[in-house]
Amino acid sequence: MDAGLYIAIAVFVMVVVTIAKGVRLVPQGYKWVVQRLGKYHSTLKPGLNIIVPYIDDVAHKLTTKDIVLDIPSQEVITRDNAVIVANAVAYMNIISPEKAVYGVENYSIAIQTLVQTSLRSIIGEMSLDDALSSRELIKAKLKESISDDIADWGITLKTVEIQDINPSVTMQKAMEEQAAAERARRATVTKAEGDKQAQILEAEGRLEASRRDAEAEVVLAEASQKAILLVTEAIGDNEMPVVYLLGEKYVGALENLSGSDNSKMVVLPADLPNAIKGMMSRV
């Protein structure tokens, strides 16, 4: 085999390699950053692209699809010195690949750190109750605070979501103890109020019963007075009505005594009316 054939083969191989180095097929959803002699030259879009072999070089290959960046959980102190654990997720898109690779060392770590710092700052200005109940407000402030910064890196922030925002384990235990104490306090207050109302109702009942008893005594006294007047008018004697009424009450007392479990033997005068009249005459 002569030298000419070797030269032809070498030239053919060199041509193939040169073409391979000069032709670039960029897949859909990606952009490639080209450097010429170590300096940024151009950005290749999806499709067939031609570069200068041996001078141009594809330095970076970046996706143009939305990137989901998970923000790790971190402890954040609120305005009222409560500790909560929060994490988030950011959705971003690279608009200018050259800015993303030359504007910052590592855009993923940079955005992650920026979101964490902004999240601490935003929650640190809120109380515990506000932080736990204001996810949308935190989200809006977080997006507003970092959008301008990452725009300088050729990246746009689509949205940022707060995944979890909960009190720390120690804080949850303290809140549970506080809630238990509050429930116990309310139960004590409710019981005290119930006892107070019961005592008031009982006192009102006794007062009403006493008032009724007093009214009954008045009614009985008026009835006795009317009875004495009627008997006096009937028999015309000032003493006999009293003797009659006293005897009637005496007989009633005996009936009650006889029905009692503690009844005893009682000696009665032989002539009850005369005995009562005698007692009345001594008075």
Task: Tell me what the mean pLDDT of segment 251-264 comes to.
Answer: 60
> Would the pLDDT of 22 be above 80?
yes
Kindly list the distances between the CA atom of residue 281 and the CA atoms of 232, 246, 249, 265, 269, in Å, as whole numbers in the listed order: 18, 15, 20, 28, 17
pTM of the model: 0.57
Asked whether residue 158 falls in the same domain as residue 107, the answer is yes
Asked whether residue 91 falls in the same domain as residue 10, the answer is no
Reported confidence tier of residue 44, pLDDT bands at 50, 70, 90: very high
pLDDT at 270: 45
Reported confidence tier of residue 283, pLDDT bands at 50, 70, 90: very low
Per the domain annotation, does 186 fall within a domain?
no
CATH of the domain at 142: 3.30.479.30
What share of the chain in percent tops pLDDT 70? 77
Give all strands of the β-sheet with 83-94 in edge-to-edge order.
Answer: 67-77, 83-94, 155-167
Reduced DSSP (H G I as helix, E B as strand, rest coil) percent helix, strand, coil of the chain, to 5 = 60, 25, 20
> Would the pLDDT of 267 be above 50?
no
- Mean pLDDT over each residue of the chain, to the nearest integer: 80
Among 46, 63, 80, the domain-final residue is 63
Asked whether residue 272 falls in the same domain as residue 219, the answer is yes
Task: Tell me what the mean pLDDT of segment 105-120 comes to.
Answer: 91
